[in-house]
């Protein structure tokens, strides 16, 4: 079971996660309007920018984050922004959406000039997240854990970051045990997705390069 302190940490992170999300008008725009390849590209850039702004607001609410060295805060956010973005997007694709919505979104991403070799692993990742049937709490905690990765480039005080990440990991581990009693591997699988995210992050950097070129 979670201690009162752990329950508080969970509630705090979950509330922040639910509160800071992409505005609905922007999400609607993605579904309703028809755009050319170039407009798709610009819309995805706008979405990505908003994603980062929302992510920063969420991160500020993670207990202890603002007490970290300012440059370390930036290093953590820079290192994790893409991974957090993929996690959030995975949720969009695994949620039950009105008929046809996920197809429209997928079509838009496929028609934004991104090469197929980057698209396929991304949708594979979304599928693998879907298979885990994660609860909102798991999404919120996993996002916080991703952000609080002490091994990101340019982080100076790794120990301080570890001290923030460890309690969140512990809450996630306990939460998985109580919420998925018949799936003892749930916690390990969630951590496995973080490894997959690192690969996507790496691909993403290559993808941006190919996008810039084209």
Partner 1 sequence: PASNLGLEDIIRKALMGNVEE
Q: What are phi and psi of 34, to 5 degrees?
A: -95, 130
Question: Which CB atom, from 20 or from 189, has the smaller least distance to partner 1?
Answer: 20
Cβ nearer to partner 1, comparing 14 with 84: 84
Q: Report, in Å, the least distance between residue 81 CB and partner 1.
A: 6
* Least Cβ distance, residue 77 to partner 1 (angstroms): 5
Q: How far apart are CA 150 and CA 165, in angstroms?
A: 8
Nearest distance from C-beta of residue 1 to partner 1, angstroms: 32
Compute the Cα dihedral for 197, 39, 214, 105 and give only its sign. Answer: positive
- Residue closer to partner 1 (CB basis): 73 or 186: 73
Q: Give residues 69-108 in contact with partner 1 (rule: CB under 8 A).
A: 70, 73-74, 77-78, 81
At 9 the three-state DSSP class reads helix
Name the DSSP letter for residue 67: G
Q: Is 188 in the site for partner 1 (CB under 8 A)?
A: no
We find the least distance from the C-beta atom of residue 181 to partner 1, in angstroms, to be 37
Separation CA 209–CA 214 (nearest Å) = 9
Q: What minimum distance in Å lies between the beta carbon of 206 and partner 1?
A: 16
- Residues numbered 136-175 forming contacts with partner 1, rule: CB under 8 A: none
Q: Binding string to partner 1 for residues 31 to 70, with x set by CB under 8 A, is what?
A: -----------x--xx--x--xx--xx--xx--------x
Closer CB to partner 1, residue 19 or residue 183? 19
Nearer to partner 1, 64 or 130 (CB): 64
Crossing angle of the two packed helices 101-110 and 116-131, in degrees rounded to 10? 150
Task: Specify the residue, 90 or 147, whose C-beta has the smaller distance to partner 1.
Answer: 147
- Classify 21 in phi/psi space as left (phi over 0), alpha (psi -120 to 50) or beta: beta
149 neighbors 161 (Cβ within 8 angstroms):
yes
Residues 6 or more apart whose Cβ sits within 8 Å of residue 76: 59, 68, 147, 148, 149, 152, 155, 161
List contacts with partner 1 (CB under 8 A): 42, 45-46, 49, 52-53, 56-57, 60-61, 70, 73-74, 77-78, 81
């Amino acid at each position: 079971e979670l201690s009162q302190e752990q329950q508080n940490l969970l509630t705090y992170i979950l509330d922040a996660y639910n509160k800071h999300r992409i505005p609905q008008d922007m999400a609607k725009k993605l579904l309703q309007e028809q755009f050319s390849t170039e407009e798709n590209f610009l819309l995805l850039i706008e979405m990505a920018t908003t994603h980062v702004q929302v992510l920063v607001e969420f991160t500020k609410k993670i207990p202890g984050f603002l007490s970290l060295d300012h440059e370390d805060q930036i290093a953590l956010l820079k290192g994790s922004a893409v991974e957090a973005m993929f996690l959030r997007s995975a949720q969009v694709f695994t949620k039950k959406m009105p008929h046809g919505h996920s197809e429209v979104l997928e079509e838009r991403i496929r028609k934004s000039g991104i090469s197929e070799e980057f698209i396929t692993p991304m949708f594979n990742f979304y599928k693998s997240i879907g298979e885990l049937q994660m609860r909102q709490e798991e999404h919120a905690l996993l996002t916080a854990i991703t952000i609080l990765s002490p091994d990101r480039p340019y982080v100076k005080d790794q120990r301080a970051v570890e001290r923030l990440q460890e309690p969140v990991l512990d809450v996630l581990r306990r939460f998985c045990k109580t919420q998925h009693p018949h799936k003892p591997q749930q916690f390990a699988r969630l951590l496995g997705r973080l490894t997959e995210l690192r690969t996507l992050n790496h691909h993403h950097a290559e993808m941006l390069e190919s996008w810039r070129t084209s």
